[in-house]
Chain A
Amino acid sequence: METRYLKWISFGLLTTIVFGLAQCKKEIASTEKVYAPSYYLPELPQGYPPLINSEKNPLTKEGEKLGAYLYSDPILSSNGMTCTSCHQPALSWSGPLYVNPKGIKTSVPIHLNLGFRTVFNWNGSAPDLDLVAKGDFEPEFFNTDSNELKLKLQANSLYQGLFFEAFGVKKVHQLTFDSIKTLASYALAQHLRARIAKPSTFDLYRQRRGTITPEIYRGMLLFFSEKADCFHCHMEPMYCDNSAHNNGLQDNHEGVDKGLELVTGKASDRGKFITPTLRNLSKTGPYMHDGRFTTLEEVIEFYDSGIKNSETLDPIMFKRHEDLKLNLTQQDKADLVSFLKSLNSLEE
């Protein structure tokens, strides 16, 4: 009799355990994260061209978030460097003059409004924003040790989660080094695509939501005139043109000063460099590809009277003045500086 009861009790317990386990399993399954990125496009300021989204790396909130973390975190490097080491937020994601181990000087390009550009780096050597950051893992910059990076990622639950949410990769540290670099670069590209300049004093004036000083107004008239002729390469609202030009910095081009020619191999591209945006300009010195000018006044002085002729000098630089001079007055130069400063975002 007792055995009979016991059998029933055992059966009941077993059933409870099995049923309980099944329920438990169900609960575990239901709490497992699902890869569901949120595709989006940021709201653009008035007059901006369409953002160039990437087919292979479309912008998602999760990818942008991962990129934002990686941008200022030394986890990608083996020497403590981050993207912000050179592209400093306080300097509108530009930085002081960069000198590489060979002694070559480079003005740090501004990381702003890159989602509208089709070519990157001063000499146009990078046509794909998604892959630009892969070069940062090299010894010259992050000097990344692949094993060290994998161990750091393995031990970091935050990044494990962020990489999963952004790209659906559960164990990022198990990927190849090249794949990790690619995904990190993708995330950084997304973050940079979403980084759009905030309105400037001049933007507000254009939108009839603000006023400008008489100095800025006079500078504006010069900027958009044939006299100073800045607008042909620096047309609003981007203040750059996705093209390379020889703007007459020198009459002889050697080494890195050959610019685009080093990328295309064409002599007709000698001395050409990609036009930078003028937004936040007063924060992004030194100026020109090699940072040879430290102030805006020096830059304007150069365009006024320092242009040097060469076989590839841009035709625009010849306009009006056979001697390649603009003949600006001191007042003109001061007004142009005032106008250029009005292109600074009012907030970061």
Chain B
Amino acid sequence: MKLLKSYCSLAVILALLLILGCKKETPIPSPETGNLVLKINYTFNNQKLIPDSLIFRTPTGYLVSVSRLEYYLSGFKIGATNTNNWNYLNGLKPEGNTLLLTDLAPGDYQSIQFSIGLIPELNQHGKISGTFENNQMIWPTEMGGGYHFLKFEGRYKKEERNPGGYAIHLGTDSFLIQHQALPVQFSIHKNQTDTLHLTMQVEEWLSLPWPWDFEKDGNYTMGISEAMKKVMQNGNKVFKVD
């Protein structure tokens, strides 16, 4: 009888091991997801943005050109779902105007939201890949660390005065721009890549609520909290859906 019990116990253990072993080997089905490509267009007062052209008029009456427009997008929220995607973008280079959001749950959505800059979890040296572009966006440790969220540079001119130069830079966690949600109906399909077209209205950086006057507000912002706060507020509606 004892021997029979031992055999039974052994059989049970073996069966359990087998079941557990099988369970491990059975792949957990990964959810079928889709991707979304964001294609970003750049305009200034509804005109196509032409680099290095001192032709664009600001609300405060300056003519401006744009010679650099580099930034990050991160903290994407598709509908009610947060994603881990982030991207470096360069508004003046064709290859820098597209970003891919991956592993999105299929379905119909009514809005998209994101931050301009890097969310705090990413905004530390070494947290994002050390590409040449990313290294160039570093916000020096000596000035608070992390990365530039935005580099927006060019020349400005008013009336007959000689053109000056501006460098609107934004960085450090306190000045991350939570862009307002963009209402748009779109769908994500399983195993497909859908596309959404956005436009950055570049003039918005210099418009409301702080119409930028280079002679009063300054021609650079890096490290100046008051100026960066204004840029942050101007920046929360620079994008629209096409």
Contact = CB atoms under 8 A, between A and B. Distances in A.
Interface string A104-137: 0000000000001010000000000000000000
A268 to B, nearest CB: 4
Interface residues of A, number: 32
Given A49-B131, A315-B68, 4 more contacts: A49-B135, A224-B140, A313-B165, A315-B166
Interface string A46-88: 0111100000000000000000000000000000000000000
Contact of B132 (A49, A232, A236): A49
A43 to B, nearest CB: 15
Contacts, number: 74
A236 B139 CA distance: 11
Contacts of A212: none
Given A225-B143, A319-B220, A320-B220, A311 B163 contact: yes
Interface in A280-327: 309, 311, 313-320, 322
Contacts of A314: 67, 165
A319 B220 CA distance: 6
Nearest to A206: B141
Contacts of A242: 132, 136
A335 interface: no
A320 B135 CA distance: 24
Interface residues of B, number: 30
Given A226-B222, A237-B135, A319-B220, A231 B166 contact: no
Contacts of A315: 67-68, 153-155, 165-167
B136 A318 contact: no
A88 B29 CA distance: 61
Contacts of B134: 49
A50 B219 contact: no
A9 B9 CA distance: 82
A242 B131 CA distance: 12
B159 interface: no
